Chain A
Amino acid sequence: MKLITAVIKPHRLDEVKDALQAFGVHGLTITEASGYGRQRGHTEVYRGAEYTVDLVPKIRIEVLVEDADAEELTDVIVKAARTGKIGDGKVWSIPVDDAVRVRTGERGPDAL
């Protein structure tokens, strides 16, 4: 199994959610996050003083999938989240040892 994590622009959330549903993903977790990438944040000027605001609001999406689906699903997310402008975000995946469905106790791929 793989855990795919995507940090995206908040306004792309609906597109990514729809794309994941169309792909057949059953569940996902969403967190409001903030951070910055290579472009950093933005600056504001108050009474002549310049302030750098580094942390930009983002959405973090986490999805557990089977190994075979991981690569294709990554592409699906990237496609849905892309605007072509700076700050579109990042998607990565990491291996997951085990997963348990709390209600039934099913383990591994059965729990997804």
Chain B
Amino acid sequence: MPPGILTLAADKATLSPANTGFMLICSALVMVMTPGLAFFYGGMVRVKSVLNMLMMSFISLGIVTILWVLYGFGLAFGTDKGGFIGWDGHFAGLSGIGLTELWGATTIPVYVFAVFQLMFAIITPALISGALADRVKFTAWALFIALWVTLVYFPVAHWVWGEGGWLFELQVIDFAGGTAVHINAGAAALGVLLVVGKRIGFKKDPMRPHSLPLVMLGAGLLWFGWFGFNAGSWLGNDDGIGAVAFVNTQVATAAAMLGWLAYEKLRHGSFTTLGAASGAVAGLVAITPACGAVSPLGAIAVGAIAGVLCAMAVNLKYKFGYDDSLDVIGVHLVGGVAGSLLVGLFATGGVQSKAKGLFYGGGFDQLGRQAVGVVCVLLYSLVVSYVLAKVIDLVMGFRVGEDEEVAGIDQAAHAETAYDFTGAGGGSIGRKGPALGEALTKKVDA
């Protein structure tokens, strides 16, 4: 929700069927990112906790949807109260909204805008879960999501995108969520990590990904859904800016994947599958705030820089000894910070906003604004997430027991396992299966 969108339509807007349809499709695309993320993360953990990893994302689809309808949309996008939060009585329960009531000066209904934004609110807490793989109580996590979106995501979304929000008024550019989504989630991951601590065996036991094909599938779904995330964030495409965002998304992601792969080939000797998937995600993260402000060539630069930077950043956890299991900080926080700041360098001034970056003759103005956005969201999310996690830890305990963690959280938390290995290698030995064979024979005889 780009600054200045309200000034674009001078005449009273009318509902555009094309933009409405486009935005409903974009909303569905953003929805698919959450299951995509679940598989991206799920493939990276060990066999014994893959279901829990999937569920930590999926549960967000349940919890956040309900809270969004009840009060989330009102808090994030209701009438501004002092720049820090919004509220609008007729948004509560999404019940006082007219079918053809338009969102601000746009050409899409409020309902469409609300559901599009809902998908952002769902995936953001799900992103945090990657830092907490294998070791947190599912109930504690569910409670954390509910509290976190209420106290962190809804307000921050208002700051950045809500009319009257203080970062919005400061004209910080965050096209589709570099600060509100990725820095926000990455900083939260760090905050919770400081409370939850490392996995048993971190740095000692091998914890390599159990299914790289799942990781690739998840990354592919994320990439696909991200077109809705970015191209949809202009809320219509009457002036072609949504299309620029789409192109930049593709270009930056490609460049970031190549950047990450080149870095790891030089550093470790091979092009890994996980590197390709991670590089793509890093590029998607970095271009998210920038895709409406830069040119396709600028997008190549943003992607390539973010790809290499994130590939370097994921090693930090070994250096500093915090167990950011699936690199939420290394990819989302670092990628989000990189993308948000690079807007201040590469913004052309000819697209989403008139603001020019340093390399386009705009001086340090926009870079300074971007830095304020980055630092404020980072600190707010870090501190509030830490306090929330601490309170949950004191009240109910955030971690599972040691024995449950070692045996695998899937069985303990969900009474299921992802894969059945008992019949591996061609069927059960010494056990008579159900009488399927007999039944078939009888049928043939008859």
Residues of A within 8 A of B (CB): 32, 44-49, 51-53
Distance in angstroms from A45 CB to nearest chain B CB is 4
Interface check B327, CB cutoff 8 A: yes
Does B275 count as interface, using CB distance less than 8 angstroms? yes
Contact with A along B403-446 (1 / 0, CB 8 A): 00000000000000000000001000000000000000000000
Q: In the complex, A45→B315 CA distance in Å?
A: 12
Question: Is A47 touching B314 in the complex (CB atoms < 8 A)?
Answer: yes
Choose one: B208, B268, B269, B270; the contact of A48 (CB below 8 Å): B268
With an 8 A cutoff between CB atoms, is B206 at the interface? yes
Nearest chain B CB to A50's CB is how many angstroms away? 8
Chain A neighbourhood of B311, CB < 8 A: 47-48
Do B268 and A45 touch across chains, with their CB atoms under 8 A apart? Answer: yes
Contact of B278 with A by CB under 8 A: yes
Q: Does B272 contact A (CB under 8 A)?
A: yes
Q: With both chains docked as a complex, state the minimum distance between the C-beta of B425 and any C-beta of chain A, in angstroms.
A: 8
Residues of A within 8 A of B397 (CB): none
Residues on B lying within 8 angstroms of A by beta carbon are 206, 208-209, 264, 267-270, 272, 274-275, 278, 311, 314-315, 318, 327, 330, 425
Q: CB distance B318 to A49 under 8 Å?
A: yes
Q: A51-B206, A51-B208, A52-B206 are contacts. A46–B318 as well, Cβ < 8 Å?
A: no
Partner among A45, A51, A52 whose Cβ is within 8 Å of the Cβ of B264: A45
CB pair B206–A45 under 8 Å, yes or no, is: no
**Knowing A51-B208, A52-B206 touch, does A45 contact B270 (C-beta < 8 A)?**
yes
**A48 vs B319: C-alpha distance in the bound complex, in angstroms?**
11
Do A46 and B209 touch across chains, with their CB atoms under 8 A apart? Answer: yes
Nearest A-chain residue to B273, judged by Cβ: A46
> Residue on A with the closest CB to B316?
A48
**Is the pair A47, B275 in contact by a Cβ cutoff of 8 Å?**
yes
Contacts of A52 in B (CB 8 A): 206
Q: Quick one: which of B270, B278, B425 contacts A47, CB cutoff 8 A?
A: B278
- Which of B268, B274, B311 has the most chain A CB within a 10 Å cutoff? B268
CA A10 – CA B208 in complex, angstroms? 25
**CB neighbours of B269 from chain A (8 A):** 45
Cα-based distance from A39 to B206 in the complex (angstroms): 19
* Pairs A–B under 8 Å by Cβ, sample size 19: A44-B208, A44-B272, A45-B264, A45-B270, A46-B272, A47-B274, A47-B275, A47-B311, A47-B314, A47-B327, A47-B330, A48-B267, A48-B268, A48-B311, A48-B314, A49-B318, A51-B206, A51-B208, A53-B206
Tell me the complex Cα distance, A36–B118, Å: 52
Which chain B residue lies CB-closest to A32? B425
| Across the A-B interface, the 7 shortest Cβ-Cβ residue pairs | A48-B315, A45-B268, A51-B206, A51-B208, A47-B314, A46-B274, A48-B314
A40 to chain B, nearest CB (A): 14
CA distance A52 to B311 in the complex (A): 21
Query: B274 — which chain A residues lie within 8 A by C-beta?
Result: 46-47
For the complex formed, measure the closest distance between the CB of B271 and the CB atoms of chain A, giving whole angstroms: 11
B202 to chain A, nearest CB (A): 10
* Chain A residue at minimum C-beta to C-beta distance from B203: A49
Q: For the complex, what is the distance from the CA of A92 to the CA of B439, rounded to whole Å?
A: 48
- Chain B residues, CB < 8 A from A44: 208, 272
A32–B267 alpha-carbon span in the complex (Å): 35
List 5 other contacts, CB 8 Å, given A44-B272, A47-B330, A51-B206: A32-B425, A45-B268, A45-B270, A47-B274, A51-B208
How far is B269's CA from A44's CA once the two chains are assembled, in angstroms? 10
Contact A45 B314 (CB under 8 A): no
B318 touches A48 (CB 8 A): yes
Report the bound CA distance from A53 to B327 in whole Å. 22
On chain A, the residues within 8 Å of B208 by CB distance are 44, 46, 49, 51
Smallest Cβ distance from B64 to chain A, in angstroms?
A: 28
| Interchain CA distance A47-B330 in the complex, whole Å | 10
CB distance from B429 to the nearest CB of A (A): 14
B424 CB, nearest partner CB in chain A, Å: 11
When C-beta atoms are compared, the residue in chain A nearest to B331 turns out to be: A47
Q: Which of A32, A45, A53 contacts B272, CB < 8 Å?
A: A45
Distance A94 CA – B149 CA, assembled complex (angstroms) = 68
Q: How far is the CB of A57 from chain B (nearest CB, A)?
A: 13
